[in-house]
Amino acid sequence: MTDQWKQRAMLIAAAAGIAAMAVAGVAMAERAEAATPAQEVGNCTVAGDKVASPSKVLLGETVQIQLTLDPDCPPAVLREADIVLVIDSSLSMSQNEKLEDAKDAAHSFVADTDLALHRVGIVGFASSPSPSPIGLSQDSAAINGAIDALSISPGTDIAAAIDAAALLLEDRRVDALPVVILMSDGSPNSPSPDPRAAAITSANFAKLDGIVIYTIGLGSDADYSLMEALASSPDQYYYAPDGADLTAIYEDIAVVVGAAALTDLTLEDDLYADVELLPGSAAPSASVSGQRLTWQTAVVSSAGTSWTYVVTPTKAGKYPTNDRAAASFTNADGSPDEFVFPQPIIEVVDPNAKDPCTSSDAWTVMVHSFPDSVGVSGGGRPGCNNSFDSGDWFGGTNPPLPRLEYQLLDGSGERLLDEAMGAPAAGRVDQRINLRACEPPPYTLRLVTTDLNGYDACFNSPLERTITARDFQRSFYRSTEERYGFVLY
């Protein structure tokens, strides 16, 4: 295919000479105008959210925070493009890690490109082009893999590289803008006899086919006049003094080619005083100063973006995770704009604290503990009939039950809601306590006393039991009684 492009170039040059190039310039202008019709670019409407998960935790547990930003853009902003990155991988690119810098910049370009709208292809080149087999793709993993696969080879044939990119773009979509972004750090040394003229001819044929060409000259040895001549217009040529400048240039081109929804975004999130950032948890990585997290990104596509991090609450109670979180950016029409995120509220529970609600609001578990040595149980055994009979008064006088401690926990048995220790009233051998919770059942009720002073729990009186809403009688809407019987052994 490369030879075909060059044969066509020689035929046109021989037939028309300089006049043909003038006609080509007119045709290029008409084709470019048809490919990018003038449209009024509107603003994107920006929605977003900030969510804390889980919203209720125990003191000491962590909470993940996620912020999302979703631009909704008018059709003029969402122009589709089929883009080929043409990257020099000649021997000179091995110096000063220029190829690695070029790969990093290409990865950044892919990250800044809305792959729901655009397709990207990769062509590396040295003495011959090496188009990636992925073609024009919307698979970020495949595209990044093709970038990583670029390797150093001798020679520089820019003409063949442009031809290879044009060949990929023969598969472009009807309504998509065809784009080539060419980066080179030197001057072509093939094909003979005039490598520079061959490169210009290939570029002109591509332009005649409606392809928009951006060029980047890297370093002091780049052929700047050639790279500017290859570009579709002088302002579509970029100069990168060294490899570190490439990422910013690719980001600028991504904004223009991809018609990004939002650009130059800065997100600042000021954490609430009673939460601490888990170090290293921010994704993508954030700049941290005190309680402020800051992210910056050059481009936000119409597909939206998100940020996450993890905090550890430092006190019990209900409070927001942040004081203020806001993103400032340039909207699609070039005007400055801002989005302020909502404040998610978290509830942090101290597992060692009692629920602070009044008796009228609480659910009450009345625990009655007593010696249960008389009567007959359902199993035919003496005692343990789960009833505090008159004979139990006398049977429990010597030895007496010790003071018994109980805990009321949530349904999982992990979070303490209330605890109390009983004591016999004057002249009595049984013990009564009330345990209260602000939240509705289920609960776990647990006897925590282990030294029972010679007694043992009745076989039908489990030391730990689950209490559900069914256990609360209708006549005592927020109260239920749990009996614990004990026998001497």
**307-321 confidence digits (pLDDT tens):** 999 999 999 889 999
Q: Residue 62 falls within a domain, yes or no? A: yes
What CATH number does the domain containing 286 carry? 2.60.40.10
* Secondary element (H or E) of residue 205: helix 195-208
What separation, in Å, do the N-terminal and C-terminal C-alpha atoms of the chain show? Answer: 99
Structure tokens at 451: 């030294």
Q: Give per-residue pLDDT as tens, 49-102.
A: 999 999 988 888 999 999 999 988 876 666 688 999 999 999 999 998 999 999
Residues 309 and 240 in one domain: no
Q: Residue 411 falls within a domain, yes or no? A: yes
**Which of 233, 258, 283 is the last residue before a domain boundary?**
258
What pLDDT is attached to residue 5? 42
What pLDDT is attached to residue 465? 96
**Which of 349, 383, 413 is the last residue before a domain boundary?**
349
Distances (CA, A) of 37 to 33, 176, 385: 6, 12, 91
Residues 105 and 247 in one domain: yes
Residues 477 and 399 in one domain: yes
Q: Is the pLDDT of residue 466 over 70?
A: yes
Residues 278 and 410 in one domain: no
Q: Residue 162 falls within a domain, yes or no? A: yes
In the block, tokens 């806001």 appear at 326
Residues whose CB falls within 8 Å of the CB of residue 309, separated by 6 or more in sequence, listed in order: 64, 65, 277, 278, 281, 282, 283, 286, 293
Residues 227 and 298 in one domain: no
DSSP labels for 366-412? EEEEEE--SSB-TTS-BB--SS--HHHHHHTSSSPPPPPEEEEEETT
Distances (CA, A) of 27 to 31, 197, 204, 316: 6, 20, 10, 71
Q: Residue 91 falls within a domain, yes or no? A: yes
Q: Is the pLDDT of residue 17 over 50?
A: no
Q: Is the pLDDT of residue 24 over 70?
A: no
Q: Residue 35 falls within a domain, yes or no? A: no
Q: Is the pLDDT of residue 175 over 50?
A: yes
Q: Residue 299 falls within a domain, yes or no? A: yes
Local confidence band at 203 (pLDDT 50, 70, 90 cut-offs) = very high
In the block, tokens 């570029």 appear at 203
Q: Residue 113 falls within a domain, yes or no? A: yes
What pLDDT is attached to residue 75? 66
What pLDDT is attached to residue 289? 95
What pLDDT is attached to residue 354? 58
Domain extent, residue 51, equals 45-71+262-331+340-349
Q: Give per-residue pLDDT as tens, 331-366.
A: 877 789 999 999 999 999 887 765 566 666 788 999
Residues 206 and 284 in one domain: no
Between CA 111 and CA 123 the distance in angstroms is 18
* Secondary element (H or E) of residue 182: strand 177-184
Local confidence band at 26 (pLDDT 50, 70, 90 cut-offs) = very low
Residues 202 and 94 in one domain: yes
Between CA 180 and CA 170 the distance in angstroms is 12
What pLDDT is attached to residue 102? 93
Residues 219 and 92 in one domain: yes
Residues 252 and 282 in one domain: no
What pLDDT is attached to residue 200? 96
Q: Give per-residue pLDDT as tens, 224-233.
A: 999 999 998 8
Residues 253 and 270 in one domain: no
The pLDDT of 410-417, averaged and rounded, is 89
Local confidence band at 12 (pLDDT 50, 70, 90 cut-offs) = very low
What CATH number does the domain containing 104 carry? 3.40.50.410
Residues 374 and 419 in one domain: yes
Between CA 19 and CA 460 the distance in angstroms is 107
Q: Residue 229 falls within a domain, yes or no? A: yes
Say how many domains are in the chain: 3
Between CA 435 and CA 419 the distance in angstroms is 6
Q: Is the pLDDT of residue 468 over 50?
A: yes
What pLDDT is attached to residue 438? 85
What pLDDT is attached to residue 23? 33
Residues 170 and 280 in one domain: no
Local confidence band at 30 (pLDDT 50, 70, 90 cut-offs) = very low
What pLDDT is attached to residue 19? 33
In the block, tokens 């009745």 appear at 458
**Which of 305, 320, 349 is the last residue before a domain boundary?**
349
Q: Give per-residue pLDDT as tens, 317-335.
A: 899 999 999 999 988 777 8
